[in-house]
């Protein structure tokens, strides 16, 4: 069996195990629900009244209401308009005065449509509304943080469990240790990417169902397009470190301590991106730091505050760093995997020669 075949065998096993894992399935469904809620619910909640009854005394208001997107129902009198609202056949009514009738809450869309507002001229118009400016950076950062943290921690737990049960001694007798590492990382990367891809498709479908303007989808598309390659490279970079951290622990109780540096490497960039999202200079710096680039650069692609060549340069820096950390993580993994008599220090794992012949 070649190293590639061994890695493929390990990856296939890891994928089968994860697809039966209730935690993985629950997290996928949870993310899908968030994607649907963030795209469909705002459109539904802001939809306003569907049908507005208009009496002859307020006929002049009909055109303004139609332009606002509601269905106008013309009735014979003010009393009939009020009756339709009370019976639930109309969401609101406009009668003589003009006055707006509703059951429990004032229909803001109807009031706005009938109000005369002064002309507004924006000197520096921003085509991204406040909701998008908040939800897009938060969603990208949250997805990368939770996915890399959850899947990475599962890699560590899997490696530590194999050490604690001494199954690893049987595995390395048949499979090269680097093939084991490559198989685990490849499996988790594929599963994480598949989860992100499904969430992305559901998000765009939710936008279509929610009637989101195609212009908004066009604004989001560059951020999603750059997020996927940055996610893959960034996840591979962190996944190997998670595997190395798992190899340092001899039992599950030690995992929290040995993986603390990796946890900080995931958490700190997430917090910095959310805190500094409105600071262009800080975001530019973060987009070239490998640990924060998978979050900062897609956000900048959404805001449009970058040159066309910047994502390629940032991705190259990230890939080079990932290659270096892959070698470091593999060295730690290989140097500590068979040390089952206690927790292995990072220095010991890095300096020791592999115990695997």
More confident residue, 124 or 91: 91
Say whether both 147 and 203 belong to one domain. yes
Q: Burial of 115 by CB count in 10 Å (0-12 exposed, 13-18 middle, 19+ buried)?
A: exposed
- Helix 22-45 crosses helix 177-209 at what angle (to 10 degrees)? 20
Residue 220 to residue 133: CA distance in whole angstroms: 10
Domain that holds residue 96: 51-106
- For the record, the structure tokens of 51 come out as 């049908």
pLDDT at 268: 92
Residue 22 lies in a domain: yes
pLDDT at 129: 58
Judge if pTM exceeds 0.75: no
Residue 310 lies in a domain: yes
More confident residue, 62 or 225: 225
Say whether both 12 and 64 belong to one domain. no
Say whether both 61 and 34 belong to one domain. no
pLDDT at 95: 86
**Cα first-last separation, the chain:** 17
Say whether both 25 and 102 belong to one domain. no
Residue 300 lies in a domain: yes
Residue 205 lies in a domain: yes
Say whether both 301 and 217 belong to one domain. yes
- Indicate whether 96 pLDDT > 80: yes
pLDDT band at residue 357, thresholds of 50, 70 and 90? very low
Residue 136 to residue 271: CA distance in whole angstroms: 15
Say whether both 228 and 147 belong to one domain. yes
pLDDT at 123: 54
Residue 196 lies in a domain: yes
What is Dmax (Cα atoms) for the chain? 94
Residue 113 lies in a domain: no
- Indicate whether 49 pLDDT > 60: no
Residue 121 lies in a domain: no
291-340 residue pLDDT tens? 999 989 988 888 777 888 999 999 999 999 988 888 887 788 877 776 76
Say whether both 102 and 203 belong to one domain. no
Token look-up 């449509």 returns: 113
Say whether both 221 and 96 belong to one domain. no
* Phi, psi of 97, deg, nearest 5: 140, -55
Residue 116 lies in a domain: no
Overall domain count for the chain: 2
């Amino acid at each position: 069996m070649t190293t590639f075949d061994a890695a493929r065998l390990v990856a296939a096993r890891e994928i089968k195990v994860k697809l039966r894992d209730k935690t993985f399935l629950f997290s996928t469904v949870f993310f899908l629900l968030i994607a649907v809620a963030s795209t469909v619910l705002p459109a539904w909640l802001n939809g306003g009244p569907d049908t507005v009854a208009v009496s002859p005394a307020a006929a002049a208001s009909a055109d303004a209401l139609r332009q606002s997107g509601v269905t106008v129902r013309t009735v014979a009198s003010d009393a009939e308009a009020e009756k339709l609202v009370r019976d639930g056949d109309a969401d609101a009514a406009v009668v003589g005065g003009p006055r707006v009738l509703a059951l429990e809450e004032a229909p803001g869309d109807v009031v706005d449509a009938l109000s005369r507002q002064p002309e507004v001229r924006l000197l520096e118009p921003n085509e991204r509304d406040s909701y998008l400016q908040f939800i897009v950076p938060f969603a990208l950062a949250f997805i990368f943080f939770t996915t890399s943290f959850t899947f990475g921690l599962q890699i560590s737990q899997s490696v530590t469990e194999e050490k604690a049960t001494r199954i690893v001694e049987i595995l390395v007798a048949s499979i090269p240790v680097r093939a084991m590492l490559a198989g685990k990382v490849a499996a988790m990367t594929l599963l994480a990417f598949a989860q992100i891809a499904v969430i992305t498709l559901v998000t765009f479908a939710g936008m279509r169902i929610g009637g989101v303007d195609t212009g908004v989808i066009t604004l989001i598309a560059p951020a999603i397009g750059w997020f996927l390659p940055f996610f893959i490279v960034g996840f591979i970079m962190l996944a190997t470190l998670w595997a190395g951290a798992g190899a340092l622990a001899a039992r599950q109780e030690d995992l929290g301590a040995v993986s603390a540096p990796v946890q900080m490497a995931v958490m700190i960039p997430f917090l910095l991106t959310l805190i500094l999202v409105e600071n262009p200079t800080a975001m530019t710096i973060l987009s070239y730091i490998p640990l924060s680039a998978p979050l900062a650069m897609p956000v900048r692609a959404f805001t449009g505050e970058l040159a066309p060549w910047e994502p390629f340069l940032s991705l190259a820096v990230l890939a080079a760093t990932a290659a270096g950390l892959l070698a470091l993580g593999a060295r730690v993994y290989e140097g500590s995997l068979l040390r089952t008599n206690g927790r292995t220090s990072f220095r010991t794992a890095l300096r020791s020669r592999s115990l695997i012949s």
